[in-house]
Amino acid sequence: MRKSLVWASPLAKAIFLLFASSSLARPTALPSDLDADFEGQTNNITSCLDSSYAVKHGWASFSNFTQGKREIELEVDWWDSGIMAPQIMYYLLTDVMGYKVDFKVYDGGSSTGRRLNYGTVDLVLELWQSDASSWYQQYIQLDSTVLSYGSIGYSGRVGLYFPSYMWDQHPEYNWLDYFKALNYSGIQNLFPRAGTAPVGTKSDGTVICDGDVTLCSNGTYKPAWYKPADNNYFAEIWCNRPTNTPYYFQRLIDGLKLNLTMVFLSDNGFSYMADAYSKKQPFLYYNWRPTVTVSQFNFTRMIFPDDVLGDFKLFQANPSTYPLTTDIPVETLFKATSTRFSKDFPELSYLVSKFLLSDRDIKSMLAKLGPNVAAWSDPSYADATCTWLKQNEDIWGTWIPPPPQIFTKCPIGTGRYLVNSLWVCIACPVGTYNLNETTSQQCTDCLANANCLGGAIMTISANHWMSEIPALENITGDYIPDIHDCPYKKQCCPNGNCTSDKVCADEFGGPLCVECKDSEMFAWNQKCLNCSGPGVSFFLTLFMPLLVTIGILYLPSFHASEMEQFCFYYQVVNLIFSGGIGEVIGWDGMNTILALFSLDIEALVFDCPLPIKGVAKHFFRFALPLLFVSYFLFFYALVTLFPSLKAYLPQRIAKQNMNVLFSRAFVLVFNFIFMPLVEASLVLVECVDIEHHSVLYKIPSIECYSQQHAGPAAFAYIVLIILLFIYPAGLLSTLLFLRTKGRILHHHSDETHNPMDRIIEPFYISYRPSYFFMEAVQVWERAIIVLCFTYLHHAGDEATSVPYLGIFITICLIRIYIQPFKNESLLYLSREIGISFIALLFLNQYANHVGQQKPTVFILFLMVFPVVNHLLRWAAMTYRLPGHLDGGSEMDVGGGSGADASIKNKSNASLRKSASDAELVPVLQRQNSRDLLRAVTKNVGGVQYNAVSLGTNLPIKTGNIE
């Protein structure tokens, strides 16, 4: 948002220096080659404060200490306030405290963050939020390589200005400063017409900017509705460079439909404006505060609509096209240092944090500058800042830290450092802390997920919990706060930077903020609710599994494996995002959708289902999975005990063997409830250490393996042993036994299968013969995924995140490579699910640890990619069925990986002779794949075919058709 400087020639540099202080605008372009070490000049800057100030503030006798340290690299930026604030810091560091300081002169902008990150400079005193938006989150919040010291005190704001004498020239227009005046012909005609000012040029004579119609073309910007014939209906704005707040006024012109153009004058801008001002001519000029221009010239700022709906953020996300309709906000300017500075000069953390200049202070200093200061080292800056220092010792005197002292041990909030052969106690700088009663060590780096503001002050990051830090006088020994990822995100420090005594959201309290402060209320779905009895959510909990169970029983067999894979996919997606995908994509409704697949009652309820807490509440998590089993067994018993009920079932279901039907449904039901049951069981045995006590992570009021925990833990372990060991091991043993007896058949044969074999058939029929055991293996796959996310994902530190990533990615790669399914469509679906898992995992890591903008679009795409792609593939196969019969396909079921699966084409030319397409299509559209081919063959008598089942895993037997 300020001007970018590129010295094309010495002449260009000289021109710039002539108008440096007043014509500079805030640059946003990449840094120029200007990286000068002006040590010679800084040494020539005359001293401002005599030695009495060093004596008065206690630093006079510490010259060995300060002079023994390296130079402080202080950044000076090429605009007025960007020069004056560092000038004041320079005098305090050199004259009062005795440090060596080197000015590093840059043109500011977004590149400042990189200089701080790499330690090229130590300290920057005026940073604009708009410039820092490209690096603030990465360097300060995530990497902690740059430390923010908060506001410098004064604010900044870009604006469109006109000379205030226009009020006197045109008293009839008392609304000159309102933006709508710019489209009122009487007022608009007062300003220079488009094309009046000369376009700025570079040193080689070419126009200053060109080639971007959304920013600058041929040295100007003209809105889309501008026509040369209408030139007299357009006024123009004077601006130095297109890098002055790029795109802002262009999009403001577009959004408010203002008949304005912009002309970029280069370094001649200030002189051209000053000449018009001296002649009392009207004009519109881009500038900002604080500057000499705004401080010394009598300007009025144009008023545009306030931004109350976040319009400016939308513009920042898409500045080249978004039509803006609101004013640019006031910016709070802030200070920052490199971490290298905080480690080398911990004693100066106090000075930097206390350094504050008010709007009045900076404006008064700017007013003392002449209108044509030539360079950053112009004596006018030194005179203005020195005068302010001598007149305001009562302000800056409070910024000076006490000098270090020689100590063997240091108190809380300080660290012990060896500096130039002296052991000194220095207040812990930002990014470090010390909560040790006495220490002989340096300050400790801040804990993960905490923010250390210096000394003994520590706050916690959003969605984390920290044990309450005792009053400093009550701390004994080496105190280290407990910090944990919150089991219920919104209940812990929802906005970040919470102190340890206010870490929970308003309604919650206790360890990990899991319970309501009001003991009469109950925590459900991250809200505290009144509850006197069963709520509506309770009855929906009873009713929903009934409908889903009926749907499973009615589901055609050839879609069972597909539905199983879809449910598995969304259950794992919910685990990847820890049930909080809504916070990542900005829509909490997605949390509810995924909670449906995961059978997570806690995230589904909208009122209080039951007045229960603690262990009883988490036992309720078993309700939905067990209700599915209960309804399933109920329907099975009902049909078995009352066979006459089959007459009321649809013919497609009634004609099937009920044992086989329910066996197939059991496979789908079990796979659907398996992961929710494992998650619910792990909640009852998942322990963490909080303040030297091992407690349940989601029920921290219960100490692990205490008498109170014994019953729930025993129940959980029994469920886990059944799910993780007994069931898959028993299934695998049964399948191996049947395999050795030759009783695993991959082609239907009602005549050869005994009833028990038919019941076992759904456990292997979806897989190719060499992978008959995969049903048991996939149970263990699901178990490993749940265990992985439960015990590794929420921990959040590198030691656990690496194996977490490794285990899960390995599982996904195995799923991509090994393809056990017979059905061609399922092969592709399984691969797409594995690929989507890896992509979503990395997008979540990016959103949490790297990204400055959430990858919402990519996440939403991957959420639907496997499902939509599979449905499109299924639709293509369905509407291609006549062609398949003409040249049908069958998966080679002879074994091998999915990559080796081959397709066997079989000609059915005689079928075309016996049945027309018109006869085939209606039948094809209304029958399932097995009945479909039987229906087709009934229309073609007396011919022997080897028919292929399409859309199912069950090949149709070969035989004579009559």
Question: Average pLDDT of the chain?
Answer: 81
Q: What's the pLDDT at 420?
A: 66
392 exposed, middle or buried (CB, 10 Å; 0-12, 13-18, 19+)?
Answer: middle
Q: Residue 836: CB partners within 8 Å, gap ≥ 6?
A: 569, 862, 865, 866
Q: What's the pLDDT at 343?
A: 85
Identity of the highest mean pLDDT range in 316-330, 548-562, 563-577: 563-577
Strand, coil or helix: what is 242?
A: coil
Residue 684 and residue 677 in contact, taking contact as beta carbons nearer than 8 Å? no
Residue 723 and residue 677 in contact, taking contact as beta carbons nearer than 8 Å? yes
Q: Tell me, what DSSP letter sits at residue 428?
A: P
Q: What's the pLDDT at 684?
A: 93
The arithmetic mean of pLDDT across residues 100-121, rounded, is 85
Strand, coil or helix: what is 306?
A: coil
pLDDT at 894 exceeding the cut of 50: no
Q: What's the pLDDT at 851?
A: 55
Q: Which amino acid is at 368?
A: K
Strand, coil or helix: what is 494?
A: coil
Q: Tell me, what DSSP letter sits at residue 698?
A: S
108 exposed, middle or buried (CB, 10 Å; 0-12, 13-18, 19+)?
Answer: buried
The arithmetic mean of pLDDT across residues 430-434, rounded, is 89
pLDDT at 892 exceeding the cut of 50: no
Lowest mean pLDDT among 130-139, 516-525, 540-549, 943-952: 943-952
pLDDT at 728 exceeding the cut of 50: yes
The string of DSSP codes covering 643-656 is GGGGGGS-HHHHTS
22 vs 125, more confident: 125
Lowest mean pLDDT among 307-311, 336-340, 743-747, 757-761: 743-747
Q: How many residues does the chain have?
A: 962
Strand, coil or helix: what is 630?
A: helix
How far apart, in Å, are the Cα atoms of 313 and each of 136, 328, 629, 848?
15, 10, 50, 20
| C-alpha torsion 818→824→830→831, nearest 10 | 70
Nearest alpha carbon to residue 19 among 291, 208, 206: 291
- The model's pLDDT over 47-70, given as tens digits with 9 standing for 90+, comes to 899 999 999 999 988 887 888 889
β-partners of residue 423 are 418
Q: Which amino acid is at 748?
A: H
Residue 71 and residue 421 in contact, taking contact as beta carbons nearer than 8 Å? no
Q: Containing H/E element for 472?
A: none
d(CA 771, CA 115) in angstroms, rounded, equals 58
Strand, coil or helix: what is 48?
A: coil
Q: Containing H/E element for 42?
A: helix 39-44
Q: In what order do the strands lie in the sheet with 457-460?
A: 450-454, 457-460, 498-499
> Residue 289: pLDDT band by 50, 70, 90 thresholds?
confident
Examine residue 27 and say whether the peptide bond preceding it is cis (omega within 30 degrees of 0): no
Nearest alpha carbon to residue 454 among 558, 337, 315, 356: 337
Report the first-to-last Cα separation within the chain, whole angstroms. Answer: 84
Q: What's the pLDDT at 677?
A: 95
Within 13 A of 464's CA, how many CA atoms are on the CB side?
Answer: 26
Helices (H) and strands (E) in the chain, counts: 39, 30
pLDDT at 165 exceeding the cut of 80: yes
Q: What's the pLDDT at 794?
A: 56
Q: Residue 198: CB partners within 8 Å, gap ≥ 6?
A: 265, 268, 272
> Residue 94: pLDDT band by 50, 70, 90 thresholds?
very high
d(CA 748, CA 755) in angstroms, rounded, equals 13
d(CA 507, CA 54) in angstroms, rounded, equals 52
Q: Domains in the chain, please, with CATH?
A: 51-154+332-397 (3.40.190.10), 156-330 (3.40.190.100), 410-513 (no CATH), 536-874 (no CATH)
- The model's pLDDT over 402-431, given as tens digits with 9 standing for 90+, comes to 887 777 788 898 888 877 667 888 888 888
- The model's pLDDT over 634-655, given as tens digits with 9 standing for 90+, comes to 988 998 898 888 888 877 777 8
The pTM assigned to this predicted structure is: 0.63
Residue 653 and residue 549 in contact, taking contact as beta carbons nearer than 8 Å? no
Q: What's the pLDDT at 374?
A: 54
What share of the chain in percent tops pLDDT 70?
A: 83
d(CA 597, CA 566) in angstroms, rounded, equals 9
The arithmetic mean of pLDDT across residues 341-348, rounded, is 88
> Residue 237: pLDDT band by 50, 70, 90 thresholds?
very high
d(CA 56, CA 760) in angstroms, rounded, equals 92
The string of DSSP codes covering 877-933 is HHTTHHHHHHEEEEE--S-S-GGG--EEEEE-HHHHHHS-HHHHHHHHHHS-HHHHH
Nearest alpha carbon to residue 286 among 376, 378, 200: 200
- The model's pLDDT over 202-222, given as tens digits with 9 standing for 90+, comes to 888 899 899 898 999 999 999
Q: What are φ and ψ of residue 163, in 5° steps?
A: -65, 135
Q: What's the pLDDT at 866?
A: 94
pLDDT at 958 exceeding the cut of 60: no
What share of the chain in percent tops pLDDT 90?
A: 41
> Residue 224: pLDDT band by 50, 70, 90 thresholds?
very high
pLDDT at 938 exceeding the cut of 70: no
How far apart, in Å, are the Cα atoms of 187 and each of 173, 232, 279?
8, 13, 19
The arithmetic mean of pLDDT across residues 110-114, rounded, is 84
pLDDT at 617 exceeding the cut of 70: yes
d(CA 528, CA 490) in angstroms, rounded, equals 12
pLDDT at 368 exceeding the cut of 90: no
Lowest mean pLDDT among 381-390, 406-415, 676-685, 945-954: 945-954
The string of DSSP codes covering 168-237 is HH-TT-TTTTBGGGGGSHHHHTTSPBTT-SPPPB-TTSSBS--SBTTTBBTTEE--TT--GGGGGG-EEE
Lowest mean pLDDT among 557-566, 713-722, 750-759, 834-843: 750-759
Supply 126's token pair.
């005026």
Supply 245's token pair.
């707040």
Q: What's the pLDDT at 142?
A: 78
Nearest alpha carbon to residue 906 among 930, 890, 924: 890
| C-alpha torsion 698→704→706→708, nearest 10 | 20
Q: Residue 906: CB partners within 8 Å, gap ≥ 6?
A: 887, 888, 889, 890, 946, 948
Pairing of strands 331-338, 299-301: unpaired
Q: Tell me, what DSSP letter sits at residue 297?
A: S
